[in-house]
């Protein structure tokens, strides 16, 4: 297992700065997702870790050793890409062992590793098939097996599931997650899909415009984003301008609400408050709970029914607040309602 560290790594292509001084520490055995919109620099970061691209400045460390000058073949990294690039005229077995065959490893060792890896990726029954006879998910498992058989100390995956349909993508995520935990291999996974990143990763590095915006556990990014950009990218719907009246109180267009005090915010400051749509309770006006904090009056503006859940948009004081509820009962569009949100469900973001 290998620990990977980026120290003030920067990458320029001519006059264009693709990566602006990124620091990242990836623990041994950890699965880290590099998440961000197209062109933000995920692939460039991955390529610098792999040794396919040299940083303009800064260092890449493997287990504390600077590998900046170590060639890609010597870094012992394994790579899996969106395109599987399997050899069409070779069977699954041959595709998987090809890398070891050309390295001239003893036949017996290759065979032992093959048996082990076909078990791991559950491809035993497909071993004699050719790529054209496999599904997309099976082909991607061959590509993963081909990489893992070389026993890399770091596994890199660049949008490996982008070609698969939604259902298969979900299955493959779980497959990769379990495989990675079982093997304990340090893994770096590039994706632009926040759901994929949250489901797979121990920690997620959000990258915007070549800068590390936030690095943390999925629930931390989701519940405690450090900027409205991160909140937005992680799928937050209710972000409103507000002013801090006290450490535990903020005034927004829909009223004054109690919030959980957060370090680093000063009274009087302009902030954003984020209300998680699933953290808000919704009541018909007549049933508003007594003595509860943070009641907001509004009116249902829209309703979307998803079966198990229902999503309302409530207009309150000029703001549109999205509320996700289990669909035990349905409230009607136009109906006056009261929203209630616990102070610990309100996250404040500095402006
Ligand atoms: P995507 O999700 O679309 O693959 P990404 O986040 O992986 O995007 P990168 O491929 O890392 O983004 O590219 C980051 C930026 O660097 C982009 O603006 C890209 O155009 C630029 N870039 C990448 N490689 C080169 C290169 N060899 N020469 C010049 N510019 C490059």
Q: Is 141 in contact with 175 (CB distance < 8 Å)?
A: yes
Nearest CA to ligand 1 atom 30: 13
- Is the confidence at residue 85, as pLDDT, over 80? yes
Distance of CA 19 from the midpoint of ligand 1 (Å): 9
pLDDT of 293 strictly over 80: no
The whole-angstrom separation of Cα 221 and Cα 63 is 27
Q: What average pLDDT does this structure show over 126-144?
A: 93
Cα-to-centroid distance, 13 and ligand 1 (Å): 9
Looking at ligand 1, which atom is closest to the CA of residue 36?
A: 6
Give all strands (DSSP E) within 83-174, no chain letters.
154-158
**Range scoring the smallest mean pLDDT among 182-186, 212-216, 289-293:** 289-293
List CB contacts of 83: < 8 A, sequence separation 6 or more: 163
pLDDT at 256 over 90: yes
- 18 CB near ligand 1 (under 6 Å): yes
d(CA 99, CA 145): 11
Per-residue pLDDT, 83: 82
15 lines ligand 1 (CB under 6 A): no
Q: Residue 297: pLDDT above 90?
A: yes
The answer to whether the CB of 41 is under 6 A from ligand 1 is: yes
* pLDDT for the residue numbered 248: 93
Q: Give me the mean pLDDT over the 90-101 stretch.
A: 94
For residues 26 and 105, which has the higher predicted lDDT (pLDDT)?
A: 26
Q: What is the pLDDT of residues 316-341, one digit of tens each?
A: 999 999 999 987 789 999 999 999 99
Distance (Å, whole) CA 94 – CA 110: 11
Q: Are 208 and 229 in contact (CB under 8 A)?
A: yes
Question: Which whole number is the average pLDDT over 45-62?
Answer: 95
pLDDT level of residue 290 (50, 70, 90 thresholds): confident
42 Cβ below 6 A of ligand 1: yes
- pLDDT tier for residue 90 given thresholds of 50, 70 and 90: very high
Q: Could you give the percent of the chain with pLDDT greater than 70?
A: 100
Determine the atom of ligand 1 nearest the C-alpha atom of 190.
Answer: 7
Burial status of residue 174 (CB atoms within 10 A of its CB: 0-12, 13-18, 19 or more): exposed
Across the chain, mean pLDDT equals 93
Nearest CA, atom 14, ligand 1: 41
Please give the share of the chain, as a percent, with pLDDT higher than 90.
75
- Ligand 1 within 6 A of 38 CB? yes
pTM confidence score: 0.90
pLDDT value of position 164: 81
Answer whether 13 contacts ligand 1 (Cβ < 6 A).
yes
CA 121 / ligand 1 centre spacing (Å): 31
Whole-number pLDDT of residue 245: 96
305 by Cβ neighbours in 10 Å (0-12 / 13-18 / 19+) ranks as exposed
């Amino acid at each position: 297992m290998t620990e990977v560290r980026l120290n003030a790594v920067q990458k320029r292509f001519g006059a264009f700065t693709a990566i602006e001084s990124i620091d990242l520490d990836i623990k041994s055995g950890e699965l880290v997702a590099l998440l961000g919109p197209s062109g933000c620099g995920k692939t460039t970061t991955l390529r610098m870790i792999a040794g396919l691209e040299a940083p303009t400045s800064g260092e890449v460390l493997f287990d504390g050793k600077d590998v900046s000058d170590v060639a890609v073949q010597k870094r012992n990294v394994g790579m899996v890409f969106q395109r599987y690039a399997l050899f069409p005229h070779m069977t699954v077995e041959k595709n998987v062992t090809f890398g070891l065959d050309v390295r001239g490893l003893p036949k017996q060792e290759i065979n032992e590793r093959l048996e082990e890896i076909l078990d791991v990726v559950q491809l035993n029954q497909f071993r004699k098939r050719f790529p054209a006879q496999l599904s997309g998910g099976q082909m991607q498992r061959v590509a993963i097996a081909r990489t893992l058989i070389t026993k890399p100390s770091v596994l890199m995956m660049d949008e490996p599931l982008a070609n698969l349909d939604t259902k298969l993508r979900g299955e493959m995520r779980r497959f990769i997650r379990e495989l990675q935990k079982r093997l304990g291999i340090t893994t770096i996974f590039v994706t632009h899909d926040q759901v994929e990143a949250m489901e797979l990763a121990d920690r997620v590095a959000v990258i915007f415009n070549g800068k590390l915006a936030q690095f943390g556990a999925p629930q931390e990014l989701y519940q405690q984003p450090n900027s409205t950009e991160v909140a937005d990218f992680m799928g937050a719907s209710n972000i409103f301008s507000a002013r801090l009246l006290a450490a535990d109180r903020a005034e927004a267009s829909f009223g004054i609400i109690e919030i959980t005090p957060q370090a680093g915010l000063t009274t009087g400051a302009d902030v954003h408050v984020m209300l998680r749509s699933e953290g808000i309770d919704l009541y018909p006006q007549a049933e508003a709970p007594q003595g509860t904090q943070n009641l907001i009056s509004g009116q249902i503006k829209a309703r979307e029914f998803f079966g198990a859940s229902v999503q309302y948009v409530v207009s309150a004081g000029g703001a549109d607040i999205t509320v996700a509820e289990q669909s035990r009962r349905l409230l009607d569009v136009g109906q006056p309602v009261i929203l209630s949100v616990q102070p610990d469900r309100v996250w404040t973001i500095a402006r």
